[in-house]
Amino acid sequence: MGILSRMIPTEDASARKREIEEKLKQEQETLSFIRENLEKSDQLTKGMVSILSSFESRLMQLENSIIPVHKQTENLQRLQDNVDKTLSCMDHVISYYHVAKDTDRIIREGPTGRLDEYLACIAKIQKAVEYFQDNNPDSPELNTVKARFEKGKELLEAEFRNLLTRYSKPVPPILILDAISVDEELEVQEEVVLEHLPEAVLQDIICIAGWLVEYGRNQDFMNVYFQIRSNQLDRSIKGLKEHFRKSSASSGVPYSPAVQTKRKDTPTKKVPKRPVYIPGYDHDLRVKLMTDALTEKHGGAAGKDDVLDIEIDSYIHCISAFVKLAQSEYALLLEIIPEHHQKKTFDSLIQEALDNLMLEGDNIVSAARRAIMRHDYSAVLTIFPILRHLKMNKSEFDSTLQGTAASTKNKLPTLITSMETIGAKALEEFADSIKNDPDKEYNMPKDGTVHELTSNAILFLQQLLDFQETAGAMLASQVLGDTYNIPLDPRESSSSASSYTSEFNKRLLSTYICKVLGNLQLNLLSKSKVYEDAALSAIFLHNNYNYILKSLEKSELIQLVTVTQKRAESLYRELIEQQIISYKSSWFKVTEHLSEKNMPVFQPGTKLKDKERQIIKDKFKGFNDGLEELCKTQKGWAIPDKEQRDFIRRSQKTVVSEAYRAFLQRCANISFTKNPEKYHKYHPEHVEEMIEKLFDTSA
């Protein structure tokens, strides 16, 4: 065991020694391999360096031989380019000398039908002008091309004028009527587009205008434009006016077959204005004649008033047409005229048509003024529909004229002011004329019926109903509120300005109507004194007051009156009742003979004295004579209102009949004469029949 233990470490040491020797041998081999490779690498490096050195040498030799050749080639190329450029420039310059000749035919023949080709020629000429100006300003060629350029520009201007003149036509009246029509049943209106020029022509005109502005340095074409278009605008409106006159004369209504629509606030034939029909006044000859006259006016042959109505409707049409056509002209102008000249050109374009409209409006105002001087106040009503239409369309009018000169924009407000002034003057003078109408005996109705002044005043006031806002604004424009002292509700101050103004105008018109009615009442009272018979005076006032009340009740006048006079109806009823009472007093001289006053007191069977018999005879005679006289006189009087006529007859018949029956009963057993039939001429029924025939000229 001891020997074995000593042998194991010896073997291990030998093994490690062998292992180390093997590793050393391997490392030596690796080192030897690396050395061999390093030697090979050095050899390769030396070979590569040698090659590169040789290559560098060769490149240097090549460069030294190529660079001179390259420089020579480059110089030759530059020379070639210079030659080409020189030739090209020479060709270009030479072409300028031939421009006049090359473009002569096209310029002479003009741009018609070949605008693009023509503008291309003009461009060539323009470049030639610029060349000679820059390079040879003294050459004769410069004058030649300049003259050719001016000629070309003149022909373009002429083409611009010719195209506008040839294709600018007045808008047909039917299209204008369709454009200004409004269909109340359609929520969204279909706008009628007015095409003034064919699209191809319009594009040519736009092109020419653009060239004249940019290259022609010319603004004369703008004058040409506004003159031609202004003439067409004016002709369009005049054509519409003529169409309207012819249509109104033939059918009474301007008709547009293209669009059959209801037209609102734009021209339609006005409904004939007639007096309000009042039941019971059917046999009032004066009212009947007035109604017949108005009916004949609008339904029969055209007279002077019909011509005036047509002129007014035509004018209203033309105002609407002007706005629509001016808007259309402005839209066209925007495409043709440069921006900074558009407003001025538009201002000039619309002047002729606008001036003609304003002149026609001034003529209407002058006619109304002359009518007022003749005290023909109803004639001033002709300006009411015009004024209302102008004011309703003023905002659109102002919008259309936005940007024009102040003098242009002020024309419509000036006309409106003139119409309001003359209208207010007419209203005031009419009220004064009602108050100051003279009490002429020959002008008084013999039968005590409605006076012409009353029917005229009521008819005039009824005509104001369709123009309440307009008439109120007329009065307000003249600061007549101070004159009328209009009371306003303090709560109105919190409302909008428009509603406040509308309410104020309504109150102002109400007060004016009350003033006219008050003046009429005073004048009627004064006229009634012309009658010598107090009963006829009462009948006259009764008829007139009743006519006024019925007229107020049958129209919207009563609503206007009650705005400032709440008790208007009751006040007129009181006046009517007072006149009935006054009339009834005329029968006292008849019924007083039937009273017991001075009647003898007697016992049955007692013989009357002569004096007592005479008293009874006188009572019978006084009653008979008074009854006959009153019935004969009052049968010729008139109470047109059947209801009032029957009421007065019935009440008077009751009073007289009852008094007469009582009188006859008291005298039944009295022997006061040998011929009782001489005094007892009428039975009560006969008396009632006589009273029933009062106020009946046919009886």
d(CA 506, CA 326): 34
Distance from CA of residue 502 to its chain's centroid?
A: 18
pLDDT band at 206 (very low <50, low <70, confident <90, very high): very high
Please write the tens of the pLDDT for every residue from 484-520: 444 444 334 333 345 557 888 899 999 999 999 999 9
Give the H or E element holding residue 238: helix 220-250
| 442-to-439, 457, 522, 633 alpha-carbon distances in Å | 9, 20, 19, 19
pLDDT mean over 93-111: 69
Retrieve residue 359's tokens.
């002149």
Neighbours of 641 (CB within 10 A): 23
Question: Of 211, 203, 247, 209, which Cα lies nearest the Cα of 225?
Answer: 209
Got the DSSP string for 158-194? HHHHHHHHHH--PPPHHHHHHHH---TT-SS--PPP-
Alpha carbons within 13 angstroms on the beta-carbon side of residue 401 total: 21
- DSSP 8-class letter at 464: G
Average pLDDT estimate for 640-666? 90
Q: Would you place residue 75 in the very low, low, confident or very high pLDDT band (cuts 50, 70, 90)?
A: confident
The CA-CA-CA angle for residues 378, 383, 384, to 5°, reads 90
3-class DSSP state of 300: coil
CA distances from 235 to 231, 263, 350 (A): 6, 23, 12
Question: By the 8 A CB rule, do 444 and 474 touch?
Answer: no
272 vs 635: which has the higher pLDDT: 635
Give pLDDT, residue 497. Answer: 40
Helical H segments across 635-698, by residue range: 642-666, 676-679, 684-692
Q: What is the pLDDT of residue 297?
A: 35
- What are residue 330's phi and psi, to 5 degrees? -65, -40
User: Rounded to whole angstroms, what are the CA distances from 198 to 169, 201, 350?
Assistant: 11, 5, 22
- Please report the pLDDT score of residue 291 as a whole number: 39
Tell me the average pLDDT across 452-458: 93
Report the share of the chain in percent with pLDDT over 90: 39
Average pLDDT value for residue range 611-624: 85
Strand, helix or coil at 430? helix
pLDDT at position 309, please? 72
DSSP 683: -
